[in-house]
Structure 1
C-alpha cells in the first residue's frame, strides 16, 4: 500500500481503534502485581499510543503531502537535476535599498543573520541580502521581505542599468525565512550567476498573506485585505521607487511554492501587464475559501462569479487567454496536484505558453522543491529582459 493511499490510512486507523478496544477489554486482567502484569500494562499502553500516533501522522501527511512515498519517508530519494519541458511554442531611486521614510524601509534581521550561505562579503563580489519591510500605499499593508541584490548591482559598469525582478512568494503559513533557509533562493541564485546560467536579477522574497494569521491567498477580499492590490500595485511601486529595476513588465516575473505558487499563477493570469511570467512549484489552479481564509469572495450574488474567476482552468476555457509564460511543476507519484496539472497544461492555448517539470516521484516538501528551484530560476531568467533600458545616473 502506498504511503498516501486511503487503504493504508483506513487500515492503520482501524488498527488504532482496535488497540484501544482491546486495551479496555484486557486491562482488568493486567491489574495484578508482579513483573508480567506490569509489562503487559506497559506494552498495551505503548502499542495503543503508537497505533494512534501512526494514524494521526498519516492523516497529517495525507493533508499536507509532505512525503509521497515510502522511499521519500526513508530518505531514499532521487537528487538528480531536473529538466524543464517546453509544452507550447510560441522616477528618482536610491542606489542601494531602503530609507527610513520610503516605501521600502530597513527592518531588523528577521532571522536572515542565522541562515547559512547568505552573501556576507564585499557586495560587488558576492551580492547582498537586505532585510526590509514593504509599505503598501493602496492596500495599507506592511509586509516583511528579503531583497537579494546581485553583485552586478554594485559594480560600476552596471551603475546605469535597471535590473529585472523576480518576486518569490512562500507558502502558507510559512514566511520569508523558508525562502532563504529551506528553499535556499538567494544561495541558488548566487550559484547560478557564478555559473553564467542566470542573468543578474533582483529577487524579492515575500509571504503570500498580508493580514496574518489570515490566509489572504493573493485575493482582493471585498471589504477586507487587498492582497492582489498589494502584489500588483504596491509592491512594484515600492521597488521602482527604491531600486534600479525595469519599468516595463518584460522585466518582471513571479515565482512561488505551494500556495505561493498558486498566487504566482493567479497574479500573472489576472494581471499579465504586471507579471507576464510566472512559475509555480506544486501550486494549485484555483482558490477557495476555508477556515484559514474566511470568506475570500464576500457574499451575495457576485461571490460565486468572483470565485469562478480565480479558477484558472475556468478562465482558460471562458475568458480571453492572457499573453503570459508559465512554468508548473508536479510529480506523478506523491503530489496531489498532478491530475489538475495535466488538465491545466491541456487547457493552455495561444497566446499563452506553458512549460513544466514533472518528476516521476516527489512530495509536497522542500526536499522536492530544492530540486526544482534551480531550473525554475533559470527558466524565469530566460523570460525576463536585461538590461531593459539605461537609467540616469542616480544622485549620491
Structure 2
C-alpha cells in the first residue's frame, strides 16, 4: 500500500481565532475493533521518509506524499516512538495516532513542532503506560501555497477536511493516501481498534468528522477546541455536498466510535453529544479557550481517553 499523484502543499501552526474552544472525559471500555478494509488498487513500494530530528526519545521523519487517489501532494511527518528501531521490536506492529492541527497549517503540523509540547507529553504517557506506543502520523491539513497564508486567505479556501466538489480532495488524501503511504513504510497495526485521531482547532473538526465518516479505519477521536459545524464559504456552491459531510448528520450513521470533545458547550458540545446514539459515544467537557497553552493543559486528559479507547496490538 502507498500513494502517488499531484496537487498542492499545506500544514499547521497554533490556533487561529476561528479555532478557539476546549477537552475531555473518559470511558473505560476498550473499543471492539474489526479489521480495517484495505484500500483497493495496486500495492506500491515504501515511501522515502527522511529523518528530520530525534525528538522526545523517538525519531521524526518526513516525506512528500503524492496522493494517487486524491491527486493531492502534501508533506507528512511520522514520529516513531522510542524503541521502534530496537532489534527486539523488529517483528512488532504499532498502533497509530493521526494528528490534525489548526489553521493555517502550512509547512508544519503543531503536534510535531514545538507549538503545544505534544511529543514530550506523549512520550511521557507512553513511558507510564497511559497510552500505547503510538506511531504518530501528522499530515499537512490543506494544500495552501504560502502566499495565500500570508494574504490571510486560508479560511476562505478551507475544505474542512472534505472532498469539496472541484477542490482538493482532502478527505481522500488524509484517509486513503496517507494511510497507505504510512502502512507501506512502517510496521503499523491493520485493525481499526489500533488507530485513533486527535486534532486541535480546525483539526479538531477534522478528527471528529473522520472518525464518523471512516469508522472502518478509526476507533476513537479527540477534538481539542474544534468546531462540529461546517462553515467554509466553499460549501455555498453545493449545499448537498455540505450536508453529506456535516458531522451532525454523520452521527445518524451510528458508527462504533468513541469521541471526546474538549471545552465545548451548546451546539458544539452538549447538543452534539446528545444527538449521538449507541454505539457512537460522545463525551464533552468544558474548559478554557483555544490558545496553545490551553491545548497543552488539555493533553493529559486527552491522552488518558485515547489510552482507554485504543488497542495496543503488542499487549
TM range (shorter): 0.7 to 0.9
Question: Do the aligned partners of residues 62 and 272 (structure 1) sit closer, same or farther apart at CA in structure 2, a change above 3 Å counting?
Answer: closer
Match of 2:184 among 218, 233, 241: 241
Match of 1:225 among 151, 159, 168: 168
- The normalised TM-score by structure 2 is 0.78
Q: How far apart, in 2, do the equivalents of 1:235 and 1:162 lie? A: 18
Shift of 1:65: 7.2
Does structure 1 conserve the Cα–Cα contact (< 8 Å) formed by 2:20 and 2:226? no
Equivalent position of 1:84 in the other structure? 25
Does structure 2 conserve the Cα–Cα contact (< 8 Å) formed by 1:89 and 1:353? no
Equivalent position of 1:13 in the other structure? none
SS of aligned partner of 2:286: strand
* 1:93-132 equivalent positions in 2, closer than 5 A: 104-106=47-49, 109=52, 118-119=55-56, 126-132=57-63
More off after superposition, 213-222 vs 368-377:
213-222
Equivalent position of 2:273 in the other structure? 345
SS of aligned partner of 1:105: coil
Shift of 1:189: 1.1
Which digits, 9 at most, give the CA deviation of each residue in 1:257-281, with x for residues without a partner? 0100101111111111122311111
SS of aligned partner of 1:225: coil
Match of 1:154 among 80, 85, 89: 85
Equivalent position of 1:76 in the other structure? none
Please say if 1:178 is aligned against 2:121. Answer: no
Does structure 2 conserve the Cα–Cα contact (< 8 Å) formed by 1:285 and 1:312? yes
Q: Answer 1 or 2: which has greater helix percent.
A: 1
Does structure 2 conserve the Cα–Cα contact (< 8 Å) formed by 1:251 and 1:386? yes
Q: How far apart, in 1, do the equivalents of 2:61 and 2:16 lie? A: 37
Question: Do the aligned partners of residues 86 and 194 (structure 1) sit closer, same or farther apart at CA in structure 2, a change above 3 Å counting?
Answer: closer
Shift of 1:188: 1.2
Match of 2:69 among 135, 138, 148: 138
Q: How far apart, in 1, do the equivalents of 2:286 and 2:136 lie? A: 25
Does structure 2 conserve the Cα–Cα contact (< 8 Å) formed by 1:208 and 1:216? no
Please say if 1:381 is aligned against 2:314. Answer: no
* 1:292-331 equivalent positions in 2, closer than 5 A: 295-296=234-235, 299=237, 303-316=238-251, 319-330=252-263
Number of residue equivalences:
277
Does structure 2 conserve the Cα–Cα contact (< 8 Å) formed by 1:135 and 1:142? yes
Q: Relative contact order: is structure 1 or structure 2 higher (C-alpha 8 Å, sep ≥ 6)?
A: 2
Equivalent position of 1:169 in the other structure? 100
Q: How far apart, in 2, do the equivalents of 1:62 and 1:155 lie? A: 39
Which digits, 9 at most, give the CA deviation of each residue in 1:275-318, with x for residues without a partner? 2311111111122223xxxx247x4xxx22221222222333xx
Question: Do the aligned partners of residues 62 and 181 (structure 1) sit closer, same or farther apart at CA in structure 2, a change above 3 Å counting?
Answer: closer
Shift of 1:129: 1.5
Q: How far apart, in 1, do the equivalents of 2:46 and 2:235 lie? A: 27
Which digits, 9 at most, give the CA deviation of each residue in 1:350-379, with x for residues without a partner? 0111223322xx112111110112321232
Equivalent position of 1:199 in the other structure? 132
SS of aligned partner of 1:250: helix
Which digits, 9 at most, give the CA deviation of each residue in 1:315-343, with x for residues without a partner? 33xx3211111111015xxxxx6542111
Shift of 1:103: 5.7
* 1:257-268 equivalent positions in 2, closer than 5 A: 257-268=200-211
Does structure 2 conserve the Cα–Cα contact (< 8 Å) formed by 1:207 and 1:260? no
What's the C-alpha RMSD, in Å, of the aligned pairs? 3.1
Shift of 1:137: 1.6
Q: How far apart, in 2, do the equivalents of 1:322 and 1:153 lie? A: 32
* 1:20-31 equivalent positions in 2, closer than 5 A: none
Match of 2:215 among 272, 276, 288: 272
Shift of 1:210: 3.2
Does structure 2 conserve the Cα–Cα contact (< 8 Å) formed by 1:107 and 1:132? yes
Question: Do the aligned partners of residues 108 and 217 (structure 1) sit closer, same or farther apart at CA in structure 2, a change above 3 Å counting?
Answer: farther
- The normalised TM-score by structure 1 is 0.63
